[in-house]
Chain A
């Protein structure tokens, strides 16, 4: 399976994602933000980081970059797109995913391992997980507080577009288990066709027992299927 990782100036999880993709046997290429075309690809990954410094608004400038037009085109043609952390923020800026990521409720950067629960496992991104499976996964962001309007929230719920929710060890989703103030503890969402996933947690950080755990592996192996 062919993948493309988009590299913006200020991306800093690009190498981490590339390492994970390689380990999981994907054929990956790095694509520089000034490129005007994409190589033939089955999956586009927009990695975490601080694209263009995120000085304006997270992901805002990247959402208007040259390569992003190609990403939008590909996504509309059904290409799989995974946006992690800053990548999720960029996807909301492009309109490929609805809603927005506000500053964390505590107004601080948060890096720690949190629990999330798989809400929909009938997608190309999550098929290897069990429904309601609880994962321990690392988050690292300033703006991960997902917000959207009522109609879209209803759609997210009714159409199974919520991918992951923050929860506690036992799977309970409430205010205590919500690290950043996200609406309904949402940690990741799909678009309506479910070929695009945006998520704040970092699955690429969870593929190696030496540094963490392997709870992110199934996301990549689902995509390989």
Chain B
């Protein structure tokens, strides 16, 4: 078959790239080879637009065992325990087919984690939908939530934390990011680097079907009006088979049979075989007639590009085949030797002894295109919002408006659909600043949280990038964890657009600065470009997933108030920054202005102080102050308890709205028992950490002196209204 311009374009390759392929092969590719190049060179697999920026991120640290470049990142939490984690996007498939798209997003990220020898112990997600009023939103929300639940519940891994946001920027391109966290023995971690010539390449798991062919290419293009037609490129998930695959792999990993292992994710058999060979500096030869197929007459092209789920590729040590085969037989899974490693440094594809394709491995990996795309800087908004000129609004009304808005409503409608308790190690379920998962059979735990702030990032990407790292860090600190490392999922629009590329470059710069300052390295991640439809790009939405360590679970902290007559302190200065706040957005529909400033030094000092106080058992409850400001954070502390708060009028009063709703960063609320107050105040003063005593807890009533008084029950009701009525 002649390779026409149309075929090249259909494979998402441009003329330059095609010429490059001809040069690397020293001939024209055939269709199979073209398909393989297209799968490896697309944005999703090659990171061609993002690579030079990603390199700037800090990826090393005392706790880091493995940074980016493997299936997932690995950190050391002591006592030979390692935590393996990663976040990944499944945005495009989820928009086309929400249930399967979300489900396979979960399945894919789980494989990334157990490929490395970890038993997954927690799932998290960050999901973004369009305006609730948009006709597609409701069914997308339903589909995505049941897809995430359907997969996690069945495989039996608790879904413990996440975030759900609505913004019309996602009307035609939702975001579904899934994060998996696993636990492994530090000396039993498995990598994807092939070693040795003539070793068996083994295919295990589900059979290969025609689903998901060119899925990675789809994820590397913008949507248009015909996106619905791409349904056949969405994979279908089978959590039951994945459960078998998980148990079989972990059983095989008990001894040293495995040289290298890689899951077949995006670009399936192609990327898994190429990556293993490339990392080992080897070649690989596959006998495609041996590939277990679900459908008849599948061509080599289809086999190599299928994204059928629940499959793995393993390179086995000599003489370990029979034992390995037994294990997979026990679990009723396919186990077929489909090839061997070679010293040719070529990917050689044979079908019934005939060579169907032959490509140098480095042409697909190290020689894949890298682009230094043009980008432009975004300046801080000069639109000054005159708060004093806004229509006067009652504090109570403004608060209730926020509490009952889609973005701030209680999300139990969602989290009730996820099994959060299976595995019996969930110390703290969703709804708090971070979830807490105990390390099985041990006294320690990890805290996990995912966060994003698309509005801040849109307004000023550099500040936004810093802010999400800081907020994620604060969320872990607030539950008494020491933040160790992050994974990131970078959801952006079309990188060929200079402004979008600028958003990417600057968000990354912000993430880098914050991570460096907080000693909070990036160990894994994923980039998702081309989020947009018909040239309308989404807001830049980097999502940060953080993991922290709690060395003793004897006294976990959450944000719920614990008693009456205790004191509430706010750590960190309140300036009253209202631009980009949800107060203005929900009450006045104002989206303009600058995000709050980030002072990394204060972030670090304040966070470390709160961590210290929690460790000394001086804090009853703690909460980070974020979207909605002080008053919303206070409500969140009171709402699920029988206790309220009486907030005194601040002595140095500026504008009361600014004080209560301002979204200044680096702040925490802590509840202190009366008997410890003097001690805490002394510590804070000695350490020069800014704090204010803002009020006391009391029974039943939430009260702002001279402004409002209502029962915490009313707050709860208001907060629980929206989802149930949607």
The smallest beta-carbon distance between B443 and chain A, in angstroms, is 9
Complex alpha-carbon distance, A9 and B246, angstroms: 11
Contact (A50, B240) CB under 8 Å given A10-B154, A111-B416: yes
Type the 1/0 row for B122-149, where 1 means its CB is closer than 8 Å to any CB of A. 0000000000000000000000001001
Do residues B419 and A10 form an inter-chain contact, with CB atoms below 8 A? no
The smallest beta-carbon distance between A60 and chain B, in angstroms, is 14
Do residues B420 and A9 form an inter-chain contact, with CB atoms below 8 A? no
Do residues B146 and A16 form an inter-chain contact, with CB atoms below 8 A? no
The smallest beta-carbon distance between B384 and chain A, in angstroms, is 47
B427 at interface by CB-CB < 8 Å: yes
The smallest beta-carbon distance between B120 and chain A, in angstroms, is 12
Contact (A15, B146) CB under 8 Å given A10-B240, A108-B417, A109-B417: no
B228 at interface by CB-CB < 8 Å: no
For chain A residues 4-44, which have a beta carbon within 8 Å of chain B?
9-10, 12-13, 15-16, 19-20, 34
Complex alpha-carbon distance, A111 and B154, angstroms: 13
A204 at interface by CB-CB < 8 Å: yes
Complex alpha-carbon distance, A202 and B426, angstroms: 14
Type the 1/0 row for A139-159, where 1 means its CB is closer than 8 Å to any CB of B. 010100000000000000000
Which residues of chain B come closer than 8 Å to A111, judged between CB atoms? 153, 415-421
A188 at interface by CB-CB < 8 Å: no
B332 at interface by CB-CB < 8 Å: yes
B667 at interface by CB-CB < 8 Å: no
Do residues B239 and A140 form an inter-chain contact, with CB atoms below 8 A? no
Which residues of chain B come closer than 8 Å to A108, judged between CB atoms? 146, 416-417
The smallest beta-carbon distance between A31 and chain B, in angstroms, is 14
A208 at interface by CB-CB < 8 Å: yes
Contact (A109, B146) CB under 8 Å given A53-B240, A138-B421: yes
Do residues B240 and A205 form an inter-chain contact, with CB atoms below 8 A? no
The smallest beta-carbon distance between A10 and chain B, in angstroms, is 5
Interface bin, chain A: 20 to 34
Interface bin, chain B: 20 to 34
Nearest A residue to B420 by beta-carbon distance? A111
Contact (A109, B149) CB under 8 Å given A50-B154, A202-B421, A211-B427: yes
The smallest beta-carbon distance between A12 and chain B, in angstroms, is 2
The smallest beta-carbon distance between B318 and chain A, in angstroms, is 29
A-B contact count (CB 8 A): 84
Do residues A12 and B243 form an inter-chain contact, with CB atoms below 8 A? yes
Which residues of chain B come closer than 8 Å to A53, judged between CB atoms? 154, 238-241
Do residues B419 and A210 form an inter-chain contact, with CB atoms below 8 A? no
Do residues A52 and B417 form an inter-chain contact, with CB atoms below 8 A? no
Contact (A15, B423) CB under 8 Å given A10-B243, A211-B438: yes
The smallest beta-carbon distance between B634 and chain A, in angstroms, is 26
A112 at interface by CB-CB < 8 Å: yes
Complex alpha-carbon distance, A118 and B156, angstroms: 28
Complex alpha-carbon distance, A138 and B419, angstroms: 10
Do residues B416 and A110 form an inter-chain contact, with CB atoms below 8 A? yes
Do residues B156 and A49 form an inter-chain contact, with CB atoms below 8 A? yes
B321 at interface by CB-CB < 8 Å: no
- Give the most central of B154, B238, B330: most A CB within 10 Å: B154
Type the 1/0 row for B316-331, where 1 means its CB is closer than 8 Å to any CB of A. 0000000000000011
- Give the most central of B155, B416, B427: most A CB within 10 Å: B416
For chain A residues 175-225, which have a beta carbon within 8 Å of chain B?
202, 204-205, 208, 210-212
B424 at interface by CB-CB < 8 Å: yes
Cross-chain contact of B438 among A20, A52, A140, A210 (Cβ < 8 A): A210
Do residues A13 and B156 form an inter-chain contact, with CB atoms below 8 A? yes
Nearest B residue to A48 by beta-carbon distance? B422
Which residues of chain A come closer than 8 Å to B330, judged between CB atoms? 34
Complex alpha-carbon distance, A171 and B414, angstroms: 27
Contact (A112, B416) CB under 8 Å given A205-B424, A211-B427: yes
Which residues of chain A come closer than 8 Å to B680, judged between CB atoms? none
A to B CB contacts below 8 Å, 11 in the list: A9-B331, A12-B155, A49-B156, A50-B239, A53-B239, A54-B240, A108-B146, A108-B417, A111-B418, A140-B419, A204-B424
Binding site for A on B (CB under 8 A): 146, 149-150, 153-156, 238-241, 243-244, 330-332, 412, 415-427, 438, 553, 556
Nearest first, the 7 A-B pairs at minimum CB distance are A12-B156, A53-B240, A50-B154, A140-B419, A16-B424, A111-B419, A109-B417
Binding site for B on A (CB under 8 A): 9-10, 12-13, 15-16, 19-20, 34, 48-50, 52-55, 108-112, 138, 140, 142, 202, 204-205, 208, 210-212
